[in-house]
Amino acid sequence: MSEAIAGIGVFRTARAGVPQWSRRILAPVVILCALLAIWSIAATLVNPSPAAAAAGIWPSNWWNPRPTLPSPPQIAVATWTGLFGYPVTSPRSLIYHAAVTLEAALAGFGLAAVLGTALATAIVHVRLLDRGLLPWVIVSQSIPVLATAPMVVVAMGYMGFSGLLPKAVISASLAFFPVTIGMCKGLRSPQTVQLDLLRTYNASGRQVFWALRWPSAIPYLLPALKIAMALAITGAIVGELPTGAQAGLGARLLIASYNGLMLLMWATLIVASLTAGLAVGALALLERALPRFRLPA
Amino acid sequence: MSPATPLAVLALAATVGIAALMALTRLANRPGRAAAILTPMLFAVLVLFLWEVLTRGLAVPQVLLPAPSVIARAFWNASPELLQDVRQTVLFAAIPGFVCGSALGMVTGIAVDRSPFLQQGLLPLSSFASVIPIVGVAPIMILWFGFGWQSKAAVVLLITFFPAFVNMVAGLREASPIERDLMASYASTYWQTLWKLRLPAALPFLFTALKVNASLALIGAIVAEFFGAPVYGLGFRISAEIGHLALDRVWAAIAVAAAVGSGSYALLTAAERAATFWHPSQLPGSDRNS
C-alpha cells in the first residue's frame, strides 16, 4: 500500500520532518554525478586537443593543458596539487592562501558580530536610533557595499594599515548588516506578555535584557551569523583584489586571471568554496549543538 | 577661508550635534507617519552636516575622506562619464543578468516541482551555492566571454539563479493542503492549480528573491569589473579612479551605485505591495522590518 502512494508520501513525510536519510543523501549525490557527467561530456566537446584527436581517444580531451572548460578530473587534480602538492608555507600552496583569506574573514566576522550586536542593542533601547538609523541600516542592504572595498584599502593604506586589517574591515562592513538586523528582530522577539511579566517583577532594564531579550535573540543570532560568515569570506576575497596583495585567494584569482590560467582559477574557486562551506558548516554544527536556542519550526 | 582651529571646529560640531540629537530625540518619540519619515531624513542631514564640517574644519586629507560637497562637485563634473558607466554596468550587465538569472531560477523551480527527488537533490546544492563566493567565477567568465558586458551579465546570471530557484521551490510549498484539495475538488488541472493558487501564494517568496537578487546583481556586476573591464563601468571607474587617488570621483561612483541599488529596491518593494497586498506581512501593523 505504501508503494501506491509513494509519490505523494515522500513529499509529505519530508515536510513532516521525518528525514528519510538515505534519500536525502542519495538525491544530491545522484544529481551531482549527473551534473559532473554533463560537464565531462561538454569538456570533451569543447576542448580542442589535436593530439587527442589524432590518437582517437576522447577522454584525452580532458587533459588539455590550456582548456576552455577544464574537465572535472582535471580540476580535481589541479585542486589536489594546489592543496597538497606544495609545503603549506609555499606561496604556491592554496592552503596557505586560504589561511590568509580565512584569517582576515574571521577577524572581520568577529568585528561584525560584536559591533552588530552592540548596535542592535542600542537600536532596541534608544528610540532615536530606532527611528533615525534603523531605516538606513535596512536601506544599506540594497547598496553595493562591496564597491567601497578598493577605497577602504587605499584609505587605510594611507593611515599606515595594510595586510590583514583593511580586509577585515571590508569583511566586517559586509557582515555587519545581517547581524544588526537579525539581532534587532531577535531582541524584539519577546512578546508583550513576557515583557509585562518582568515589569510586574519590577525588573530593571538590564535585567530584562539579560533574562529575557538576550536569550530570546540567540535563535536569531545564529542564522544571521551564518549569513555574516559567508559574506565575510566574500568580503575578504574581494578585499584582496585591488590591493596588489601577494597572498590570499583573491590575489590568487587575480593572478590567474591576468595570466589566463584556467586551471588555477578553478582550483582557487573550489578551495574558496570549501573554505566558505567549512566555516559556515561549523556554525551550522554549533547551531545544532544548541538545540534549546533554535527557533521553533 | 581662513583655517579654523581644530578645537573650535570640534566645539561647533559637538554643540550642533548635541542640540540636533536632542531635537531629533523629541521628534523620534512622537507617534505618526510624518515623524517616522522625517526622523531618518533629518538624521541623514545631520550626519552629512557633521561630515562636511569635520572633514573641512579638521582638514582631513582627501585620500581619507572627501567632504560631501567635494563629492557632489565631482559627481556634477563627471556626470557624462557616470551616465555611461551606469549604462554599461546596470543596463547591459546587471539588468539582463538579473532578469535571465531570476527567470531561469524560477522556471527551474517550477520544472522540478513535480519531482521530490530532483528537489531533494538540487536544494542542498543550491544552499551550498548561497554560501560560496560565486563572484569568483568572474575571471573564468572573462576568459569565456571577453571583457565586455557579456561576461558580467553571465556572472550576474549565475549569482541570481540560486536565490530565485530556492525561493520558488519554497514558495510553491506555501499553498496549504486544504487549499489544494479545494482546487482538486474543482477538478482543476495541475497547471490551473499552479497558476491560480500556488504561484500567487508563492509571490511573497518570489519578491524576497527578487529583492535579494537586485542587490546581488549590482554587486556582482561591479565586482566582476574589478577583474577587468572596458574603459567604462561603475566598477571600472571605482578601481581606475582609486589608481589616480581621485577619491571624490570614487565616492561619486559609489553614490550612484547606492542610488541605483536603493532605487531598484524601492521599485521592487512598491511592486510587492501592489501584488501581494493580501499577504499578512503587508497589512498595517505588521513587523515593518521583515
Q: What is residue B155's three-state secondary structure?
A: helix
The residue in chain A having the minimum alpha-carbon distance to the alpha carbon of residue B122 is A28
Contact status, residue B100 vs residue B157, Cβ threshold 8 Å = yes
The CATH number of residue B255's host domain is 1.10.3720.10
More confident residue, A18 or B244: B244
Contact status, residue B92 vs residue B153, Cβ threshold 8 Å = yes
In whole angstroms, what is the distance from residue A37 CA to residue A15 CA? 30
**B52 and B79 housed in the same domain:** no
How far CA A44 is from CA of A52, A73, A78, in Å, comes to 10, 12, 18
In whole angstroms, what is the distance from residue B144 CA to residue A257 CA? 12
More confident residue, B281 or B147: B147
pLDDT of residue B56: 84
More confident residue, A4 or A248: A248
The stretch B195-222 carries a mean pLDDT of 92
**Residue A172 amino acid letter:** A
Residues from chain A contacting residue B250 (CB–CB below 8 Å): 150-151
C-alpha cell at B205: 517568496
CB contact A16 to B (< 8 Å) = no
Asked if B238's CB is within 8 angstroms of A150's CB, the reply is: yes
Q: What is the 3-state secondary structure (H, E, C) of A164-208?
A: HHHHHHHHHHHHHHHHHHHHHHHHCCCCHHHHHHHHHCCCCHHHH
Length of chain A: 297
Count of CB atoms situated within 10 Å of the CB of A170? 31
Residues from chain B contacting residue A276 (CB–CB below 8 Å): 131-133
C-alpha cell at A81: 596539487
The stretch B174-187 carries a mean pLDDT of 92
Asked if A241's CB is within 8 angstroms of B39's CB, the reply is: no
Which stretch, A83-87, A101-105, B54-58, has highest mean pLDDT? A101-105
- Average pLDDT value for chain A: 83
Q: What is the 3-state secondary structure (H, E, C) of A103-163?
A: HHHHHHHHHHHHHHHHHHHHHHHCHHHHHHCHHHHHHHHHCCHHHHHHHHHHHHHHCCCCC
> Grid cell 559591533 — which residue?
A115
Burial A173-212 (b: 16+ CB within 10 A, else e): bbbbbbbbbbbbbbbbbbeeeeeeebeeeebeeeebbeeb
> Of A32, A150, A233, which is closest to B242 when you measure between CB atoms?
A150
> Which residues make Cβ contacts (< 8 Å) with residue B68, sequence separation at least 6?
B48, B51, B52
The residue in chain B having the minimum alpha-carbon distance to the alpha carbon of residue A35 is B122
C-alpha cell at A20: 528519510
**B47 and B155 housed in the same domain:** no
Q: Alpha helices of B29-94 — where are they, by DSSP H?
A: 33-57, 68-77, 79-86
Identify the band that residue B78 occupies on the pLDDT scale cut at 50, 70 and 90.
Answer: confident
C-alpha cell at B114: 513535480
In whole angstroms, what is the distance from residue B100 CA to residue A220 CA? 33
pLDDT of residue A65: 75
Asked if B128's CB is within 8 angstroms of A257's CB, the reply is: no
- Residue B287 belongs to some domain of the structure: no
Split into its structural domains, chain B has a count of 2
Asked if B139's CB is within 8 angstroms of A265's CB, the reply is: yes
- Residue B102 belongs to some domain of the structure: yes
The residue in chain A having the minimum alpha-carbon distance to the alpha carbon of residue B25 is A128
Instruction: Please check the confidence at residue A297 and state whether its pLDDT lies above 60.
Output: no
- Residue B290 belongs to some domain of the structure: no
pTM of the model: 0.85
Closest by CA position to B252, among listed B72, B39, B15, B47:
B72
**B94 and B236 housed in the same domain:** yes
**B115 and B202 housed in the same domain:** yes
CB pairs under 8 A between A and B: 186
The stretch A42-63 carries a mean pLDDT of 69
**B197 and B238 housed in the same domain:** yes
**B149 and B173 housed in the same domain:** yes
DSSP calls for A209-255: IIIIIHHHHHHHHHHHHHHHHHHHHHHHHHHTTTTT-SSSHHHHHHH
> Of B132, B143, B223, which is closest to A146 when you measure between CB atoms?
B223
The stretch B32-51 carries a mean pLDDT of 86
pLDDT of residue B260: 92
The residue in chain A having the minimum alpha-carbon distance to the alpha carbon of residue B237 is A147
Give the CA diameter of chain A.
Answer: 87
Q: What is residue A269's three-state secondary structure?
A: helix
The residue in chain A having the minimum alpha-carbon distance to the alpha carbon of residue B132 is A273
Identify the band that residue B229 occupies on the pLDDT scale cut at 50, 70 and 90.
Answer: confident
The stretch B135-142 carries a mean pLDDT of 91
CB contact A130 to B (< 8 Å) = yes
**What is the span of the domain harbouring residue B43?**
6-60
In chain A the domains, ranked by start, together with CATH numbers, are: 1-55 (no CATH), 94-293 (1.10.3720.10)
Contact status, residue B272 vs residue B265, Cβ threshold 8 Å = no
Q: Phi-psi bin for A162: left (phi > 0), alpha (psi -120 to 50), beta?
A: beta
CB contact A83 to B (< 8 Å) = no
pLDDT tens sequence across B259-284: 999 899 889 999 999 988 888 777 76
**B90 and B56 housed in the same domain:** no
- Residue B88 belongs to some domain of the structure: yes
Identify the band that residue B26 occupies on the pLDDT scale cut at 50, 70 and 90.
Answer: confident
- Residue B68 belongs to some domain of the structure: no
Residues from chain B contacting residue A150 (CB–CB below 8 Å): 226, 238-239, 242, 250
C-alpha cell at B232: 567604462
CA distance A106 to chain B (A): 15
- B151: exposed, middle or buried (C-beta count within 10 Å: 0-12, 13-18, 19+)? buried
Asked if A147's CB is within 8 angstroms of B238's CB, the reply is: yes
Residues from chain A contacting residue B35 (CB–CB below 8 Å): 131
- Average pLDDT value for chain B: 88
**B80 and B56 housed in the same domain:** no
Closest by CA position to B136, among listed A253, A283, A236:
A253
**B115 and B237 housed in the same domain:** yes
CA distance A87 to chain B (A): 25
Asked if A277's CB is within 8 angstroms of B131's CB, the reply is: yes
**B48 and B191 housed in the same domain:** no
pLDDT tens sequence across A92-137: 889 999 999 999 999 999 999 999 999 999 999 888 888 888 888 8
Asked if A254's CB is within 8 angstroms of B139's CB, the reply is: yes
**B16 and B116 housed in the same domain:** no
The stretch B108-130 carries a mean pLDDT of 90
C-alpha cell at A22: 538515505
**B226 and B275 housed in the same domain:** yes
In whole angstroms, what is the distance from residue A173 CA to residue B222 CA? 17
Contact status, residue A235 vs residue A171, Cβ threshold 8 Å = yes
Interface test with B, best of A11, A75, A151 (most B CBs within 10 A): A151
> Grid cell 573554505 — which residue?
A275
Compute, in degrees rounded to 10, the torsion defined by CA atoms A262, A267, A272, A278: 160
